[in-house]
Structure formats: C-alpha cells, structure tokens
Amino acid sequence: MRTLVLHLPLAAKASIPIPDPPQISSSMEAAGRRRRKVCPTMEENAQKKTATEASRAAEEEKVKKRTAVKASARQCHREGMDSGSTLGDIEDFPADEAQRLRAALLRWYDVHRRVLPWRTASSGGIRGNGDEGKEVDQDRAYAVWVSEVMLQQTRVQTVIAYYNRWMDKWPTVHHLASASQEEVNEVWAGLGYYRRARFLLEGAKSIVQEGEFPRTASELRKVRGIGDYTAGAIASIAFNEAVPVVDGNVVRVISRLKAISANPKKSTTVKGIWKLAAQLVDPLRPGDSNQAMMELGATLCSTTSPGCSACPISEACLALSLSRSSGSTDVTDYPSKVAKTKQRHDFAAVCVVQLTEGSDEESLSGRKNNDVLLLVKRPEEGLLAGLWEFPTVLLDEEVIDVGTRRKIVDKYLKELFHINLKEICNVILREDVGKYVHIFSHIRLHMHVELLILKPEGGLRQFSEKIQCTSAWKCVDGKSMKNMGLTSGVRKVYNMIQDYKKKQLLQRPKLSLRKKCKSSI
C-alpha cells in the first residue's frame, strides 16, 4: 500500500491511501506473446502481402522475358528461312577444328559402322598398281556405283537384297554392259525410280566402250546418269580422291554443326554446304571420312530423334549449343523444313485383258494353262519408260460412271490394235474390279481397274496374226506373270484381279444353286 500526499492548506493537509496495481503472472505474459505470434499485426500482414505481390510480379516478368526471347528466336529463324541466306555469314571450319572433327568421325566410324555388302566389296585389295590393281579398283568402283544409285530415295534394308541379286547376276561392269534393258528392269522391279536402272545400263555400256572406269570425279560426271554426289562417292571410296560427298544426311549434319537456317534446297545453300563438306574430307582416308559423315547422319544425327549424347562431334555442334542455352531452339530445327510440293492427282482406266480358249468358269479358275494376259510397253521416254503394263488410258478427270470409262477404254484398244477386239473375240466377262491409288513421289494415280475376258475366234494364234499393235505388246501366262519384273503398281493390279477371280469362284456354286431352285419352283 502506497500513500499519496496532497499539498493542501495546513489546516486541511491529510494522506489518501492508493492501492498497488495488480500483479501479472508469468503464464499470462507467455500467453500474450503466443497470441501476438499466432495473430500478426496489421503491419506484418501488409509487409507479407507486399512481398508476395513483388515476388509474383518478378516471376511474371521472367515469363514475359522468356516468351519474348522465344518469339524473337522464332522470328529470326523464320527470317533466316525466308531470306534464304547465302551462307555468307557462315565461317569456314578452322584448320585445327576440321582436323579434330575428321579424327573424331573416323574413330567413331571405325567402331560403329554398319556391315554392308557394298562396303565389303569396296574395301581392301590392291589399289591401282598394275593391271591387277586397276581391275580391283574398277570392280570396287562398280560396286560403289551400283550401291549408291540403289540407295537414292531407298532405305538401306530394302537395298541389300536387291544389291546382292544384282551383283550375283552382273558382278562386273562388263557383265552389266551385255544385259538388255528388259533384263535390267526385271531385276530392278519393285525398287522404284526406274530411270536409275536405265542410267546404270547406259553408263555401263559407255564405260566399256571407252575402255576403263573413270578415276576422278570430274571424269565420272561425264558418264550419263552420274551426278556430283555419285561421282564424289565413287572417286573417294574407290579411287581415294579427296573430294566431298553431299547427300541428305550430310546436309543435316553440317546444317546442325553450323546452325544453318537457310533453305537447304536453294542452290546457294547447297553450294555452301558442299564447300564446308570439302573441308571435313580427310586427305588420307577420303572415302572413309565421307562414309563416316553419311553414316552419322543416317544413324545418330537423324531427322527427328538425334542421339546427341552419343555423337562424336557434339561438342562442336552449334545447334546443340543453342538448344541448351535457349529454350526456344531445338536441334531438330536444323536444317530448315521446306514445304513439300503438293502431289498431283491423275486418273486412269486400267483394263486387264485376259485371252482364253476355255469357258468362263475355266478362265476364272485358271485351270486352262494356255490363258494369257495382254501387256503393252510404255513409251521409251517419260514416267516408267519402257516398262510393261496392262492397257491403261489416262482420263482427263475422275470418271465415276462405269459405262463412260468402258467407252474410253474401247476407243483406246481400237486405236492401239487397229481393230475392234469385240469383232474378233467373244466377250466372256467384263466386270469392274475396283479402285487402287498408286503413289509416286509427285503423283497420286487413281486407277479404276476392270477385268475383260475375251475368247478369240479361231484361237490365240489367229488372234496374234490379226492384230497390228502401234506399241510393243505381248501375251503372258500366269506363271510368267509371277516371275516377271513388274512395277509395284502393275503387281498390285494383278493381285486385285486374282483376288476378284477367287471371290467369283466362291460365289458361283451359290448362284448355280439359286438358279436350280428357281427352275424347280
């Protein structure tokens, strides 16, 4: 208890007692501190809110910057594509870097190269010493030539079987030069791009006529059908000339090494890539270094799924470096994608003419071995030049009406054979079989297929004597058709006809039974 003293007049002076303030226990103080800790003050709340908003704003700014960088990179990439850079801003490989790249490629190739029949044929042996050496070199050059022509536009696994059959039949350029175009077409059948086979035969004949295989790229380019790529491959692999080879695989590897965004199809870009490829050719092993570059592009440096982690030259790849430093660029952005040429749609009526001496059922079953199919030879120039096919007439447009198509086919056959076939033959069967779309690199050919079975008056021999075809033609039996070298399109049409006949034979008993039932009623 304290005492409060008041200053009053002397007569009234007195003291008033004041009670002490209540004592706050320690437990109460701790509870208050806990409440303040759990329930922050308004000031603390405001500070936290301000910090959160600042963090969110900073993150949004980062996102905006990343988006802007990506957009800028994409725009630069598009501008590079649109402008079609002449590669004037692309520097050559420094000499020391080129040496390192060559060495790394060759080390990798020596370990990882695929075992392929043409590589076995083109490796080892004597190289250019005396007559024996020249003969080995020519055989090596021939093997490289055949393989490289076959590999154009065709997968390796498909080529292997064709290459082995070819080399078994014509092991040297002299053997090939003695072949006929029809023999060559038969072995080539199914590989596509038949012009390549034609050029191989013409080139072989000219080489044999000249006396020896050209040994340099410049001389090889003079041979019909041998361009820069094939000339470089033969000269470097077979004759050890230090010249480059540029195919689609090499374009892809170099475009990524230098991050070249220019249109890879433009002549200026192609010329620049050939220049860069020449700098990577090893002077001591030119053939192997060229094959190493192509092998890398075909295996690790693929179009859509590059194996950069296993690539022997990834440390020098600018496209890979850009993809790692910027989220806007990917290795597969190089080389630039070029829009494919839109395919043309063509339409044709295909008439499979079967000549028979038997009944309709025998002609469908094939029991008559003397039944034949009529084939005509295509013109010597143009698409599928000099190849055999069923009578085919191109249509101006899609003709849906069967009757209209038949009139067009009849007119074509009359012009082709200078006679109306219906006047010298009895029509056993004429049916629409179906439609088939055959796809070429630049054309989609819509073929309307029909089967026309004719029975010549007087037999097949008199038929052959009566007609005079404006084009080469021949009659082929079923066995020969199976063994002939036909294009994949003709083979597909033939198989369609065979399937149709089988279905007709299966339905014949049912049709006959229905007729008997109707007649008995």
Active site residues: 148
Whole-angstrom Cα distance, residue 47 to residue 304? 51
Q: What are phi and psi of 346, to 5 degrees?
A: -115, 155
Helix (H) or strand (E) holding 97: helix 95-112
Give the relative orientation of helices 195-210 and 181-188 as an angle to the nearest 10 degrees: 130
Whole-angstrom Cα distance, residue 197 to residue 185? 7
Neighbouring C-beta atoms of residue 182, cutoff 10 Å: 13
Q: Where are the beta strands (DSSP E) in 361-410?
A: 372-377, 388-389, 392-395
Whole-angstrom Cα distance, residue 231 to residue 246? 11
Helix (H) or strand (E) holding 495: helix 488-520
Neighbouring C-beta atoms of residue 23, cutoff 10 Å: 6
The answer to whether 104 and 312 are in contact (CB under 8 A) is yes
Helix (H) or strand (E) holding 350: strand 344-355
Give just the sign of the alpha carbon dihedral 508, 509, 513, 519: positive
Instruction: Dig out the tokens for 115 from the structure.
Output: 């075992």
Give the relative orientation of helices 156-169 and 181-188 as an angle to the nearest 10 degrees: 140
Report which of 440, 454, 442, 436 is spatially closest to residue 392, judged by C-alpha positions: 436
The answer to whether 261 and 334 are in contact (CB under 8 A) is yes
Neighbouring C-beta atoms of residue 205, cutoff 10 Å: 16
Which positions ≥6 away from 462 have C-beta within 8 Å? 456
Instruction: Dig out the tokens for 363 from the structure.
Output: 């002609």
Whole-angstrom Cα distance, residue 453 to residue 464? 16
Q: Is-cis flag, bond preceding 335, omega within 30?
A: yes
- With tokens 């819509």, the residue in question is 446
